[in-house]
């Protein structure tokens, strides 16, 4: 898997042959084919490992680990920790580079990633039903929360830019604060309008 990740990232999925994968891994060609019938199977094995990392990052029951502020802090921390793993980021870069030529790569990657976003959206929807938050469009809100974190740690790495010189703790606190400031408020009113009505401002 390590050899495949290096080759796919360096040369692109389409440009790498099974013979090159075997040589890079120090395996006989027959040995590799005994394990995997094709490089597509190798990619899917890599995808399973990414899925396992996501499951470890978002373990069952995280939604019950405190109030909404604390849960969002935990989720944000786990996301930033995931972005700190070079192998995870390398896989994302490979998917981004090759998905145009091989659309199935993007589709299978999305099938792993989308359920985690949907899980966050369900959590926000649940809190809205309880009148803890006011998220008229929970999926939009989930993407906004993740987007603020991706902008800080994921996209700079993907595009080889220097990331903002700010500690993770500060990024997490500001992200959670901004998100809750917008989505806290009575159901039926936009949060900022509802706050203005309540304060008479």
pLDDT of 61-86, one tens digit each?
777 777 899 999 999 998 888 888 87
pTM: 0.75
40: part of which helix (H) or strand (E)?
helix 39-57
DSSP calls for 51-84: HHHHHHHS-TTGGGSSSHHHHHHHHHHHHHHHHT
- The residue segments making up the domain with residue 183 are 51-199
Q: Residue 161 domain-assigned?
A: yes
Q: Nearest to residue 76, comparing CAs of 158, 190, 196, 179? A: 179
**In this structure, what CATH number is given to the domain that contains residue 176?**
1.10.357.10
Look at residue 30 and tell me whether its pLDDT is greater than 60.
yes
Q: Residue 106 domain-assigned?
A: yes
Look at residue 198 and tell me whether its pLDDT is greater than 70.
no
Q: Residue 56 domain-assigned?
A: yes
* Nearest-10 Cα torsion for 188, 190, 195, 197: -70
Using CA atoms, how far apart are residues 30 and 113, in angstroms rounded to an integer?
Answer: 33
Look at residue 189 and tell me whether its pLDDT is greater than 90.
no
């Amino acid at each position: 898997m390590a050899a495949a990740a290096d080759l796919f990232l360096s040369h692109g999925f389409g440009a790498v042959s099974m013979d090159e994968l075997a040589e890079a891994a120090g395996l006989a060609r027959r040995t590799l084919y005994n394990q995997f019938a094709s490089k597509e199977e190798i990619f899917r094995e890599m995808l399973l490992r990414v899925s396992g990392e996501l499951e470890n990052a978002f373990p069952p029951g995280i939604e019950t680990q405190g109030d909404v502020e604390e849960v969002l802090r935990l989720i944000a921390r786990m996301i930033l920790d995931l972005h700190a793993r070079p192998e995870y980021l390398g896989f994302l870069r490979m998917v981004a580079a090759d998905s145009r030529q091989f659309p199935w790569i993007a589709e299978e990657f999305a099938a792993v990633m989308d359920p985690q976003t949907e899980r966050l959206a369900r959590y926000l929807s649940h809190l809205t039903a309880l009148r803890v938050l006011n998220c008229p469009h929970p999926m939009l809100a989930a993407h906004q929360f993740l987007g603020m974190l991706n902008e800080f740690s994921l996209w700079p790495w993907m595009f080889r830019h220097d990331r903002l010189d700010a500690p993770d703790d500060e990024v997490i606190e500001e992200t959670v604060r901004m998100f809750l400031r917008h989505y806290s408020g009575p159901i039926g009113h936009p949060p900022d309008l509802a706050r203005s009505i309540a304060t008479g401002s």
